[in-house]
Chain A
Amino acid sequence: MQAEPSQYSDNDLLHAVARKDEAALAAIYDRYRLILFGLILRILHDRAEAEDVLQEVFLQVWRRAADFDEARGRAFTWLVTIARSRALDRLRSAGSRARLAEGAAQTPRDDVSDAALDALKSETSAIVREALAQLPDEQRRTLFLAYFEGLTQVEIAARLGDPLGTVKTRMRSGVIKLRELLGQTRDLI
């Protein structure tokens, strides 16, 4: 992969990584480091730990890229799923819990380069955030508890003190809305 990386699709890059193309791995890193690191940081609330996990994630991408099958979902989904589950695994390990308790109050400082943030804002994130902002507060909160804290439906119902049926309905309609959003804006996202 000698050419300008941006002209390759996510799928092309992952297939190249599966062939052990280091430049393709670097290109994926450059393309998704902000969003993946943001995701991991949101789950762990600790920069050092999040950087550790980000490294693990890309080493896993390097080893397992051959497992990626575009017939079974988008490349973005594949990457984000690895990052989220690695981060949640770390969150569940005992050491992180203690650290999480210490730094729970402290909001992570995100040093994002303006250019990168602008690029992101102009595209996907803005569309998704806009859609999420239009959801009822409780629905959004339910989705975030599941996604960023890795809670099950039963745990969320207990946390919020809401009936399980209500929690299920909120999650279901939230995910279905996101799918519709994806269908409407597939070219953009």
Chain B
Amino acid sequence: MEHQEYQELLALHALDALDASEARVLEEHLGTCADCRAEMIELRDGAALLAHAATPAEPSAEVRNRILSSVSAQREEAQSPSAPSARVVPLQPRATRNIWTIGLRLAAAIAFVALLTGVIVLWRRDVRMRQEIAQLSRQVNTQQHELVRDRSVLDRQRDALALLNSPTAKKMELAGSQTAQSARGTFVYDPKTGRAILMAEGLPATPAEKAYELWFIPKGHSPMAGRIFTVDASGHAMLPEQMPPEAMDGAVVAITLEPKKGSAVPTGAIYLSSPSS
């Protein structure tokens, strides 16, 4: 409802003439709108003038007496509880004091136990909450790692696409060796930037404690180590690489199986290789 609509209800509310549901909605608005509240006060003051439209009438004098005597009686009643105790105290001072002392001690003991219970409850809740927080933050960490990993996969795929689309990119087909006859591979690189990507398929699953290693073998040079990698269950691998400048001109690209941490010079069998020119 708009402010304007509430305002139209105010005068009716001053006469208590709204339906219950409308009145409730307006009361809620009055709780938050100081302007309407101020106007409501003025309108109620105005509506109250209607009382003057009734013919004034004189009640019987008894009414005044009944009211005032009822009020006096109430006041005496309100004062009376203190009177008897004031009379009792001098008669039994010791007993009263003892009761007070015991009462106070009892109250203090109860308060202490309550406090202790409260402290223990709070402490246990604190421990539980700390555990929950630790668990939550571990979950967050895991999710962050997954996110980072997903993002790096995406980045790699984007880089690969950019490389594949680059007009200056060069492509080499890699063929499987005797050891891995069904393996095939493609190596794409951009001679301008040196960015490269290896896409391999049909490689045997990587044995435990082993890893595939990429090699660049420029003409007249010893092999230069590239990155090490493993393949997924279906024998696929996609590996971004930065090609050394020496390898740009007609180097052979080859893959061997090496110890898990890689080797400085090839030690294992060749699995994939580009044709030597």
Collect the chain A residues with CB atoms within 8 Å of residue B42's CB.
Answer: 179, 182-183
Number of interface residues of B (CB under 8 A): 40
Question: Does B90 sit within 8 A of A, measured CB to CB?
Answer: no
A54 touching B47 by the CB < 8 A rule?
no
**Cα distance A129–B54 when bound, in Å?**
9
B11 touching A34 by the CB < 8 A rule?
no
Collect the chain B residues with CB atoms within 8 Å of residue A34's CB.
Answer: 56-58
**Cα distance A51–B68 when bound, in Å?**
14
**Cα distance A124–B56 when bound, in Å?**
12
Question: Does B126 sit within 8 A of A, measured CB to CB?
Answer: no
B17 touching A146 by the CB < 8 A rule?
yes
**Cα distance A180–B45 when bound, in Å?**
10
B64 touching A175 by the CB < 8 A rule?
no
Partner of B56, one of A38, A73, A176: A38
Question: Does B66 sit within 8 A of A, measured CB to CB?
Answer: yes
Collect the chain A residues with CB atoms within 8 Å of residue B49's CB.
Answer: 128, 178, 181-182, 189
Collect the chain A residues with CB atoms within 8 Å of residue B58's CB.
Answer: 33-34, 37, 110-113, 116
Beyond A38-B57, A144-B53, A181-B49, is A20–B75 a contact (Cβ under 8 Å)?
Answer: yes
B59 touching A73 by the CB < 8 A rule?
no
One of A7-15, A77-85, A92-100 at the interface: A77-85
* Secondary structure type dominating chain A contacts: helix
Question: Does A132 sit within 8 A of B, measured CB to CB?
Answer: yes
Collect the chain B residues with CB atoms within 8 Å of residue A30's CB.
Answer: 64
Beyond A73-B44, A76-B48, A182-B49, is A171–B11 a contact (Cβ under 8 Å)?
Answer: yes
A110 touching B56 by the CB < 8 A rule?
yes
Partner of A26, one of B55, B60, B64: B64
Collect the chain B residues with CB atoms within 8 Å of residue A116's CB.
Answer: 56, 58
Question: Does B121 sit within 8 A of A, measured CB to CB?
Answer: no
Collect the chain B residues with CB atoms within 8 Å of residue A108's CB.
Answer: 57
**Cα distance A164–B66 when bound, in Å?**
44
**A:118-173 near B, CB below 8 Å:** 120, 124-125, 128-129, 132, 143-144, 146-148, 150-154, 156, 168, 171-172
Question: Does B15 sit within 8 A of A, measured CB to CB?
Answer: yes
Collect the chain B residues with CB atoms within 8 Å of residue A36's CB.
Answer: 51
Question: Does A22 sit within 8 A of B, measured CB to CB?
Answer: yes
Binding site for B on A (CB under 8 A): 20, 22, 25-26, 29-30, 33-39, 41-42, 50-51, 54-55, 58-59, 62, 72-74, 76-77, 80-81, 83-84, 108, 110-113, 116-117, 120, 124-125, 128-129, 132, 143-144, 146-148, 150-154, 156, 168, 171-172, 175-183, 189
7 A-B pairs with least C-beta separation: A179-B46, A178-B46, A42-B54, A128-B52, A34-B56, A77-B48, A110-B57
Q: List 19 A-B contacts (CB under 8 A).
A: A33-B64, A38-B51, A39-B51, A39-B54, A50-B59, A55-B63, A62-B71, A76-B48, A77-B45, A110-B57, A110-B58, A111-B57, A128-B50, A147-B53, A156-B17, A171-B17, A175-B43, A178-B46, A189-B49
